[in-house]
């Protein structure tokens, strides 16, 4: 049997969490959440957000914004550097990788 529900408003959506009576390999009980929140000195909601943030940092690729298009000078330099690495002779160009 599952116990209490916790809801949080995220971008106009509600997330409902249900808790098992005891911890499992994939879930934590409400009591474990309460204990963890007390140890961290956070609310239960802040504890859930922190746990999700840590998991996201471990698992999701972080995409950094770039500085916009490459300048002509940099493109020319990059092409020259690439040309140094490309063997002379005819090339086969493909539109698909596989």
Closest among 26, 46, 25 to 34, alpha carbons compared: 46
Q: How far is CA 89 from CA 27, 92, 95, in A?
A: 59, 10, 20
Q: At 62, is the pLDDT very low, low, confident or very high (cuts 50, 70, 90)?
A: confident
Q: Which residues contact 12 (CB under 8 A, 6 or more apart)?
A: none
Distance between CA atoms of 51 and 73, rounded to whole angstroms? 45
pLDDT digits (tens, 9 = 90+) for 14-58: 788 899 999 999 999 999 999 999 999 999 999 999 999 999 988
């Amino acid at each position: 049997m599952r116990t209490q529900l916790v809801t949080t408003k995220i971008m106009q959506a509600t997330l409902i969490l249900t808790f098992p009576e005891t911890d499992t390999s994939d879930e934590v009980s409400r009591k474990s959440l309460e204990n963890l929140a007390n140890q961290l000195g956070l609310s239960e909601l802040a504890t859930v957000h922190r746990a999700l943030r840590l998991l996201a940092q471990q698992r999701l690729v972080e995409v950094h914004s770039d500085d916009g298009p490459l300048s002509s000078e940099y493109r020319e330099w990059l092409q020259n550097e690439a040309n140094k690495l490309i063997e002379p002779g005819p090339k086969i160009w493909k539109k698909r990788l596989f």
